[in-house]
Amino acid sequence: MKNQTNFITHVFLALTLTALSWNSLAQETREHQDLTVIVRGSTAGPDIIFIPGLTSHWTTFEDVCAALEDSYRCHLVQLPGFAGYEPMQSLEDGFLRPLRDQLVSYLDTLPGAVTLVGHSLGGTLAIDVAAVQPKLISRLVLVDALPFLPVVQNPAATSELMQPMAAQMRSVIIAQSREEFDARVPMNIMGLTRSAGYNEVLLEWGLATDQVTLAHAMYDLQTLDLRPDLERIEAPALILGAWAAYESYGATEATTRTTFEQSYRQLSDKTIKMSERGYHFLMWDDPVWLIDSLRHFMERN
């Protein structure tokens, strides 16, 4: 009888531990103002916020989250108007700055400082959040993102110089028919990933993106210069760059690294690493390198 009781006890404990493990890795969806956030991973782990880029879906960082969710709690952010999600209630104040404030508001609901990971436009948002509320960020990870995008084509670019061209671009995009808008999507995604399969995914996301949202997001990316704000960031930063997609245009790893180093000159605590062959979506093209770099950075800091 005693052995039977012990057996039942062991089975009960095993089932309980299995249930606790399942619950710790459960998924939930949170709606926060214009943001949708998918939360996965260990409920006891430190929080990591993942912000995808232009026209992107929250699943951009899904595989990265899967590699970390045993020890961390992932918050996979979906930005409004992209990849089939509802657009913002209002774009009167632009796209990026209202979302920055909404992200800060979301971070205020979490128990402590977080690791903030942003890709491309999501990196721009991450920089802005870390600059305006440095105490909320324990680590900052920027995946192929710059504090002022136009310097890629013109190192002398300024916000004032870019505003007329950006405003014209915004007006043109808004005035296009949906057919005209959709026809440009295949051109817009060229060179973003080495994978033909993921190119199909990017095409689907682009075709499902709200046209007016894209116009305002592009304007903000062309005119928002965050370089002067970098000195306000207190968290250590890991910056992961890509260059190989632009090799045919004369780019090299060295010249691209120089662009990153000059752009982030005012960021005090930073580590810059360049992928050997990955394109813009490094989480797809160079996943082992990206995940290892992220894990090492988090453990070291």
Nearest-5° angle of CA 271, CA 275, CA 280? 105
177: left (phi over 0), alpha (psi -120 to 50) or beta: beta
| Residue 269, pLDDT above cutoff 60 | yes
Question: How far apart are alpha carbons 128 and 110 in whole angstroms?
Answer: 18
**How far is residue 12's CA from residue 5's CA, in Å, rounded to a whole number?**
10
Rg (CA), the chain: 21
| Residue among 290, 156, 286, 293 at smallest CA distance from 227 | 156
In angstroms, the CA 181 to CA 289 distance is 35
Q: Which two tokens stand for residue 107?
A: 């971070």
Pairing mode, strands 35-41 and 28-32: antiparallel
- Greater model confidence, 30 or 24: 30
Burial class for 153, CB neighbours closer than 10 Å (0-12, 13-18, 19+): exposed
| Local confidence band at 46 (pLDDT 50, 70, 90 cut-offs) | very high
pLDDT of residue 25: 59
Angle at 197 between CA 196 and CA 198, to 5 degrees: 95
- Residue 10: what residue type? H
pLDDT tens-digit series, residues 154-207: 999 999 999 999 999 999 999 999 999 999 999 999 999 999 999 999 999 999
**Position 12 confidence tier, pLDDT thresholds 50, 70, 90:** very low
